[in-house]
Amino acid sequence: MSTDMSSPSSTFPMVKSLKQAGFVGMVMFGLCVPIVAFRAEQNMNNELVLQSRWWLTLVFSVLAMIGSFLLSLYTHQKSHTAHSSAPSSVTKALSALAPRLTPLGFACVIAYPMVMLAINGPGGSIKWIDNFGIQILIYVMLGWGLNIVVGLAGLLDLGYVAFYAVGAYAYALIATKVIPDTFPELGFWSFWICLPISGLLAALWGIILGFPVLRLRGDYLAIVTLAFGEIIRLVLINWVDFSNGYAGLSSIPRPSFFGIPFNASEEGFAAVFDLEFSPIYRTIFLYYVILALSLLTAFVTIRLRRLPIGRAWEALREDEIACRSLGINTTITKLTAFAIGAGFGGFAGCFFAARQGFISPESFVFLESAQILAIVVLGGMGSLFGVVVASIALVGGIEILRELDFLKQVFGEAFDPSQYRMLIFGFAMVLMMLWKPRGLIAHREPSIVYKEKKSIGSDMVQEGHG
Amino acid sequence: MTTISSMPLLQVEHLTMRFGGLVAVGDLSFDVARGQITALIGPNGAGKTTVFNCITGFYKPTEGRLTLNHDANHHYLLERLPDHDINWKARVARTFQNIRLFQGMTVLENLLVAQHNTLMRASGYSLLGLFNAKSYRDQADLALQKALHWLERIHLLDRADDAAGDLPYGDQRRLEIARAMCTDPLLLCLDEPAAGLNPKESLELNTLLTGIRDEGKTSLLLIEHDMSVVMTISDHVVVLDYGVKIADGTPDAVRNDPKVIAAYLGVDDDEVAEVEAEVGL
């Protein structure tokens, strides 16, 4: 073994790995016999019957064998690439693809609902557009919003969902209570009126929270933002007069097509455009609304990164003391990052409320914050493209578990793959921490180029302690 | 006009800094003259960096007054300004003993971050910049030209797009000075700029610093251990020991001052006996 590993040109030890895999499979089989192979079940007559499940035992053993083989393949490759400092092939491929992917990606996301409609028809495609398209795009937008705070400015915010909640409740309350009482004729426009208001309110809350909190740094900041997220949720639960508590707010107006509602009436979208009424139009429209909002977030982020404020955020992440010595007001710079990130969270919240038609504090638990943060960290701090990949993997991946019906044929009727989502999620996180601790896109693109663009490796870029 | 040129740029009066019971700097007064290089020297732990941190706002002095005179009518009391205003309003820039560059940003970006406030104003606090207004683009272009000018001066133009953390140590030192100079300071405070440099780099540094002085816009205050640098380039030397000023004058005068020699080299045995006799041991 040692000779195989030490010589640089050594080939992969196939026989040895296969032997090892076989051994692991046998051990697994041996372990599974007492645990998995037999199962006592009640039959119709309330008698206990011993069922044998040899096929399942076999599946586990084969999985263990494959796992063992892949592991030795991986360690073999790693021992050969460990000495070269070049980034791994996956990273290289991803970063080389990133610029070329942009136009292709645009075409894909714009065509996506149409393609789904063509494949699955109006009835079957709602699931694909809504559960996959819209759901992923909401998280992409939240990820991009949080990316400004965590990825660029390096401020660890564990309570981002609070601003999402502020946006959602702002829309729900204004659209159900304020607008019908004051300007009932604006009813169909309420989403478009409330969208900027929700964003501004969330940004305002970002500033209100940020002011006392941004004196803290690192872990302390994370704890306080976490607490703030919980406070907002607890207020929403307990201030029943204001937010209707656990029961939440329902019959929130749906967005209109710029004043034309999506309903079956004479003035409805279908009637106006001479189409057969179907709920699919609204879903497609919502898809394009969240797409436009996400692109706005991306556009603003890309622009801000090249402006002095964006550079100051990144400088703040790199070294706060040096920033102060260069005349940068760090408090205001942190506050703007907090407020702008919160504002985009508010937009997304407003959209969320309009899409669901019903919101309750249950939608804004800490797990949401954790998931958004996981998307940002997994994607690579500061990388917009990484956030998209991570959202598709995390949100889309969890959704796709519901679609894996064929697994029931392997593991039996009672097997529900979506129950394993947290396990898979955690496992994926552990793997990422081992394999790519700085995220999928672990390099930084410079904001200005003099002669030749060189991306900066993650070993150089700081994570921020502010 | 005569009053301006005769008035020192920075007046340090009765500066005292205590950390609990420890007096790091005790009743220190000195002037930094306009258009000169003033060196602050002293053995390790003499309180030099503490003085620097007081001047640049990282510490608030326990007692004393720090006056920066722009001209006859514009004075800034540095001990009352927040640290970012000391750079932006009073125009005092500094470098750090352990280099503090933005390592993950490119060399060019480092110099643009230094022009943050000017650019921020030009970009209409990002609103005009978001729409890429021409007024902002013009100002951004000027900022780029200034950054490139400084890169040329420190011979790092061909490394403009490299990460600052990738530069060799000596280049990082010079880049930090260039970054501080991009804020257009009237007073540039350098904390051990020659530390860790080889003799050739040290010589280049001397040329850079005297060049900055001879342009006349910026006066320099530096802390330095490397006596070859101090004695060659400084016009005025202030010597600290245990937080107290023990000498103040031209390099030649300071070099021959017995107190300075004693502080650096220790005192002779017979002098120790003299002191012991005085104290009554």
Tell me if A307 and B165 make a contact (CB, 8 A cut-off): no
Rg (alpha carbons) of chain B, rounded to whole number? 21
- Looking at the fold, whether B190 and B279 belong to one and the same domain comes out as yes
Lowest-confidence region among A109-113, B140-144, B177-181: A109-113
- Looking at the fold, whether B221 and B269 belong to one and the same domain comes out as yes
Residue A259 has pLDDT above 80, yes or no: no
Contacts of B107 (CB under 8 A, 6+ apart): B151, B156, B159, B160, B161, B162, B163, B164, B167, B175
More confident residue, A125 or B60: B60
Tell which of B164, B183, B202 closes a domain.
B183
**A153 min Cα distance to partner chain B (Å):** 13
| Within-domain flag for A447 | no
- Looking at the fold, whether A164 and A289 belong to one and the same domain comes out as yes
Q: Which amino acid is at A43?
A: N
Residues of B in contact with A297 (CB under 8 A): none
Inter-residue contact A172 to A322 (CB < 8 Å): no
Specify the DSSP element, H or E, that contains A41: strand A38-42
Overall average pLDDT of the B148-160 stretch? 91
- Looking at the fold, whether A221 and A173 belong to one and the same domain comes out as yes
Residue A4 has pLDDT above 90, yes or no: no
More confident residue, B211 or A251: B211
| Within-domain flag for A431 | no
- Looking at the fold, whether A150 and A284 belong to one and the same domain comes out as yes
Tell which of B125, B156, B183 closes a domain.
B183
Percent of chain A with pLDDT over 90: 29
- Looking at the fold, whether A331 and A269 belong to one and the same domain comes out as yes
Q: How confident is the model at residue B224 (pLDDT cuts 50, 70, 90)?
A: confident
Residue B190 has pLDDT above 90, yes or no: yes
**Cα–Cα distance for residue pair A98/A386, rounded to 1 Å:** 9
Lowest-confidence region among A98-107, A324-333, B251-260: A98-107
- Looking at the fold, whether A298 and A220 belong to one and the same domain comes out as yes
Inter-residue contact A149 to A337 (CB < 8 Å): yes
**Cα–Cα distance for residue pair B192/A71, rounded to 1 Å:** 51
Tell me if B113 and A311 make a contact (CB, 8 A cut-off): yes
Tell me if A326 and B114 make a contact (CB, 8 A cut-off): yes
Residues of B in contact with A319 (CB under 8 A): 100-103
Inter-residue contact A276 to A270 (CB < 8 Å): yes
Residues A5-53: pLDDT tens digits? 444 445 777 888 888 888 988 888 888 888 777 877 777 788 888 877 7
Residues of A in contact with B105 (CB under 8 A): 311, 314-315, 318, 444, 446-447, 456
- Looking at the fold, whether A333 and A211 belong to one and the same domain comes out as yes
Overall average pLDDT of the A437-443 stretch? 78
Overall average pLDDT of the A146-159 stretch? 91
Residue that has been written with the tokens 């202030």 in this structure: B238
Q: Which residue of B has its CA nearest to A319?
A: B102
| Within-domain flag for A234 | yes
Pairing of strands B92-94, B187-191: parallel
| Within-domain flag for A62 | yes
Q: Which amino acid is at A423?
A: L
Tell me if B106 and A456 make a contact (CB, 8 A cut-off): yes
DSSP line for chain B = -HHHHHS-SEEEEEEEEEETTEEEEEEEEEEE-TTSEEEEE-STTSSHHHHHHHHTTSS--SEEEEEEESSSS-EEEGGGS-HHHHHHTS-EEE--SS----TTSBHHHHHHHTTHHHHHHHTTTTHHHHTT-HHHHHHHHHHHHHHHHHHHHTT-GGGTTSBGGGS-HHHHHHHHHHHHHTT--SEEEEESTTTT--HHHHHHHHHHHHHHHHHSS-EEEEE-S-HHHHHHH-SEEEEEETTEEEEEE-HHHHHT-HHHHHHHH---HHHHHHHHHHHT-
Give the count of domains, chain B.
2
* Interface residue ranges in chain A relative to chain B, Cβ cutoff 8 Å: 300, 303-304, 307-309, 311-312, 314-315, 317-319, 321-330, 336, 444, 446-454, 456-457, 460-462
Which of A309, A311, A319 faces B112 most closely, judged by CB atoms?
Answer: A311
ipTM: 0.88
- Looking at the fold, whether B217 and B173 belong to one and the same domain comes out as no
CATH label of the domain that carries residue B208: 3.40.50.300
Tell me if A449 and B116 make a contact (CB, 8 A cut-off): no
Tell me if A454 and B101 make a contact (CB, 8 A cut-off): no
**Cα–Cα distance for residue pair A233/A162, rounded to 1 Å:** 7
Which structural domain, as residue segments, surrounds residue A189?
A: 112-373
Does the CB of B177 have a partner CB in chain A at under 8 Å?
A: no
Overall average pLDDT of the A308-322 stretch? 92
Q: Which residue of B has its CA nearest to A321?
A: B100
Q: How confident is the model at residue A98 (pLDDT cuts 50, 70, 90)?
A: low
Inter-residue contact B35 to B188 (CB < 8 Å): no
- Looking at the fold, whether A35 and A164 belong to one and the same domain comes out as no
- Looking at the fold, whether A64 and A122 belong to one and the same domain comes out as no
**Cα–Cα distance for residue pair A423/A96, rounded to 1 Å:** 32
| Within-domain flag for A231 | yes
Give the count of domains, chain A.
2
Tell which of A323, A357, A373 closes a domain.
A373
**Cα–Cα distance for residue pair B219/B215, rounded to 1 Å:** 10
- Looking at the fold, whether B18 and B135 belong to one and the same domain comes out as no
Q: Which residue of B has its CA nearest to A340?
A: B126
- Looking at the fold, whether A44 and A126 belong to one and the same domain comes out as no
Per-residue pLDDT, A237 = 93
Q: In whole angstroms, how far apart are CA B40 and each of A9, B30, B231?
A: 59, 10, 11
Tell me if B93 and A326 make a contact (CB, 8 A cut-off): yes
Q: Which one of B96, B109, B112 would you mutate to disrupt binding with A, by most A Cβ within 10 Å of its Cβ?
A: B109
Which of A312, A447, A460 faces B116 most closely, judged by CB atoms?
Answer: A312
Which of A300, A329, A444 faces B84 most closely, judged by CB atoms?
Answer: A329
| Within-domain flag for A459 | no
Inter-residue contact B86 to B92 (CB < 8 Å): yes
Backbone φ and ψ for A260, nearest 5 degrees, come out as: -95, 115
Count other Cβ atoms within 10 Å, centred on residue A407: 14
Lowest-confidence region among A173-187, B29-43, B143-157, B172-186: A173-187
Residue A434 DSSP symbol: H
- Looking at the fold, whether B196 and B148 belong to one and the same domain comes out as no
Buried b (16+ CB within 10 A) or exposed e, A258-295: eeebbbeeeebbbeeeeeeebebbbbbbbbebbbebbb
Q: Which of B278, B242, B58 is closest to A321 using CA atoms?
A: B58
Which structural domain, as residue segments, surrounds residue B139?
A: 100-183
Tell which of B134, B151, B183 closes a domain.
B183
- In a 3-state reduction of DSSP, which class is residue A138? helix
- Looking at the fold, whether B138 and B111 belong to one and the same domain comes out as yes
- Looking at the fold, whether A118 and A63 belong to one and the same domain comes out as no
- Looking at the fold, whether B85 and B190 belong to one and the same domain comes out as yes
- Looking at the fold, whether A183 and A42 belong to one and the same domain comes out as no
Does the CB of B113 have a partner CB in chain A at under 8 Å?
A: yes
